[in-house]
Amino acid sequence: MNRFLKIAAIIVAGMALSSELRAQKADKGALIITPAQVKEYVDYLASDSLKGRKTPGKELDLAADYIAEKFRDFGLETVGGSYFQSIPYISQDLDVSSTSLSIDGVAFELKSDFIPFEAASDMNPEGHFNAEIVFAGYGITAPEYGYDDYAGLDVKGKIVLILKSEPRKSDTDSPFMGSKETKHAKFINKVRNAKEHGAIGLLFVTDPLNYMMLKPQGYPWPSLSKFMKRETLPFNVDTRVEGAIPAIHVGEKVIMKLFGSVDSLKAIQAGIDKSLKPNSFLIEKSRCDLRVSLITITTSARNVVGMIKGSDKRLRSEVVIIGGHYDHVGYNSQHKEGEDYIYNGADDNASGTAGVMAVAKAFAANRKAPARSLFFICFAGEEMGLVGSDYYTEHPLLPIEKSVAMLNMDMIGRNGSDTLQIEGADLNPDLRDIMLKENVDLGLKYVPTGNEMMGRSDHYNFFKLGITAVDITGGLHPDYHTVRDNPDKLDCDKASRIARLVYRTAKVMAGESRRYIIEPFK
């Protein structure tokens, strides 16, 4: 062997050695992530005592406390002085004691005679209206069909009464797109139209020509229901309808008071349908006194956060995010004795949460942090519509433009012992390539998927902002969102292998300085 070749051989050997060493090193950190560790975290998070971790709720809070406690034990740093990011939760219920309707001195009964809709959310502070009622047909203004229930009608400061549906609802030859419904038949468009014409309130009746059942339904307010609880109201960060006017669904008794009988209203409706000409008018003796009062319920849920600062002075301001949601869908409040009623969410997503925790622990155990910083986040409210990640990306604790990647884990311990899905792989080619390379040693079986699931977990809110972001998952299975998603069915070995993959991928990304390509998502 000549000298040069020898040197080359040494160099090659050295390179081989160093890459092997690197692999070993990566493995060494990753080896802290064990099935037993994952099992310990999952067994607590998915235990019956946490009742399915619904957002918001005291069991969810217990889970958050547990995760934060572990973050502290691992030695993660707080972010903005805390391991928590609080998410405000605003919802509203009907205040039954201050909601009333009377017409011309006759009082009606809440629930059996009238029920407010939720569009009443943002009304005047007193929630008290006193005005005459104008019958405004279907409440439709449709210049494209040459039809306007408000033509020549003055409803300023008045309460309008309108019918459900649109003229000639089931007539296949109707100018209103035949028997298909136009946008004008939509309730919310009728509320908007009434408001635009100056009405201050809206009474809505199910139209007697098309429906037998005229019972008011309104919104399923928990205060009017035996079965609904306030905790089950939708999780609204704040989705109140701005400037909406109160809208009330009224039933047969109100129709009889205003029109004498259901049949006379039916005759008026039939007349409009026949002529396709509006027939709107001020109703005699219809002075209406309406009070709608809502109780605003304010509470909160929390994202759990922690970080490891990068070791490189220049790169530590950049951050690789590792996340997963820790909430699930709760439990059935109605259930038989001895029946399983808790959605434990062991796979969805105690597994991914355990993954985040295990990866955090592994990084924290390293003597030296990678160049870039690492940020760990467990989201609340994913099951209510990605609420926690939505809130985080709207109110980031670390600059979005410095967030270089987001690795999300959601459901990593079911669906075969070694299958691996990377949702958004093709939209994130750089990230995918790193991950598949790191997977070579781990030997998980990569199952390519389309982008159908791209919007289905928290990574999506980051991707939308231009951050390379994927969801790492074992995929869906028949126990998904059932009471059977229990800890004993979870493959902790698989979950720990996927967590190791995330660890290794994050380690590569946090150790380099390049930015990653993402493809447009159509």
Q: Judged by CB under 5 A, which stretch of 26-34, 64-72, 85-93, 403-411 contacts Zn ion?
A: 403-411
CB 410, min distance to Zn ion, A? 4
Q: At CB < 8 A and 24+ separation, what contacts does 15-23 make?
A: 23/441
Contact 282, 136 (CB under 8 A): no
Residue 19's Cβ-count burial label (10 Å; 0-12, 13-18, 19+) is exposed
Residue 327 binding Zn ion, by CB under 5 A: no
Residue 458 binding Zn ion, by CB under 5 A: no
**Peptide bond preceding 125 in cis form (omega within 30 of 0):** no
| CB nearer to Zn ion: pick between 207 and 348 | 348
CB 383, min distance to Zn ion, A? 7
Q: Which of 59, 148, 347, 348 binds Zn ion (CB under 5 A)?
A: 348
Q: At CB < 8 A and 24+ separation, what contacts does 20-23 make?
A: 23/441
| CB nearer to Zn ion: pick between 378 and 506 | 378
Nearest-angstrom CA–CA distance, 301 and 379: 9
Residue 344 binding Zn ion, by CB under 5 A: no
Parallel, antiparallel, or unpaired: how do β-strands 319-325 and 159-163 relate? unpaired
Q: Judged by CB under 5 A, which stretch of 188-196, 216-224, 261-269, 348-356 contacts Zn ion?
A: 348-356
| CB nearer to Zn ion: pick between 369 and 412 | 412
| CB nearer to Zn ion: pick between 137 and 330 | 330
Q: Judged by CB under 5 A, which stretch of 34-42, 362-370, 392-400, 407-415 contacts Zn ion?
A: 407-415
CB 473, min distance to Zn ion, A? 9
Residue 349 binding Zn ion, by CB under 5 A: yes
User: Got the DSSP string for 70-88?
Assistant: HHHHHTPBPBTTBSEEEEE
Residue 423 binding Zn ion, by CB under 5 A: no
CB 507, min distance to Zn ion, A? 25
| CB nearer to Zn ion: pick between 252 and 410 | 410
**Count, residues near Zn ion per rule CB under 5 A:** 3
Residue 347 binding Zn ion, by CB under 5 A: no
| CB nearer to Zn ion: pick between 252 and 348 | 348
Nearest CA among 430, 474, 414, 469 for reference residue 449: 474
CB 64, min distance to Zn ion, A? 16
Return left, alpha or beta for 178; rule: phi > 0 is left, psi -120 to 50 is alpha, else beta.
left
| CB nearer to Zn ion: pick between 230 and 484 | 484
CB 237, min distance to Zn ion, A? 19
| CB nearer to Zn ion: pick between 349 and 496 | 349
Task: Calculate the CA 242 to chain-centre distance.
Answer: 20
Please write down the HEC assignment for all residues of 127-195: CEEEECEEECCCCCEEHHHCEECCCCCCCCCCEEEEECCCCCCCCCCCCCCCCCCCHHHCHHHHHHHHH
CB 325, min distance to Zn ion, A? 6
Q: Judged by CB under 5 A, which stretch of 66-74, 126-134, 300-308, 340-348 contacts Zn ion?
A: 340-348
Nearest CA among 248, 164, 238 for reference residue 199: 248
Q: Judged by CB under 5 A, which stretch of 29-37, 115-123, 344-352, 368-376 contacts Zn ion?
A: 344-352
CB 463, min distance to Zn ion, A? 16
CB 352, min distance to Zn ion, A? 7
Q: Which residues pair with 91 in a beta bridge?
A: 297
Q: Which residues pair with 480 in a beta bridge?
A: none
CB 29, min distance to Zn ion, A? 26
Q: Which of 252, 318, 390, 410 binds Zn ion (CB under 5 A)?
A: 410
Q: Judged by CB under 5 A, which stretch of 30-38, 62-70, 345-353, 503-511 contacts Zn ion?
A: 345-353
| CB nearer to Zn ion: pick between 254 and 350 | 350
Residue 121 binding Zn ion, by CB under 5 A: no
| CB nearer to Zn ion: pick between 113 and 485 | 485
CB 284, min distance to Zn ion, A? 58
| CB nearer to Zn ion: pick between 166 and 348 | 348
Nearest-angstrom CA–CA distance, 94 and 294: 5
Range list of β-strands (E), 344-466: 373-379, 403-409, 419-423, 445-446
Nearest CA among 137, 161, 163, 164 for reference residue 150: 137
Contact 159, 133 (CB under 8 A): yes
Q: Judged by CB under 5 A, which stretch of 223-231, 259-267, 314-322, 341-349 contacts Zn ion?
A: 341-349
Largest CA distance in the chain: 112
Q: Judged by CB under 5 A, which stretch of 250-258, 404-412, 458-466, 480-488 contacts Zn ion?
A: 404-412
| CB nearer to Zn ion: pick between 137 and 324 | 324
| CB nearer to Zn ion: pick between 92 and 349 | 349
Nearest-angstrom CA–CA distance, 273 and 39: 66
CB 359, min distance to Zn ion, A? 17
Backbone angles phi, psi at 308, to 5 degrees: -125, 120
Polymer length of the chain: 522
Apex CA 181: angle with CA 171 and CA 260, to 5°?
70
Q: Judged by CB under 5 A, which stretch of 29-37, 291-299, 315-323, 409-417 contacts Zn ion?
A: 409-417
Contacts with Zn ion by CB under 5 A lie at: 348-349, 410
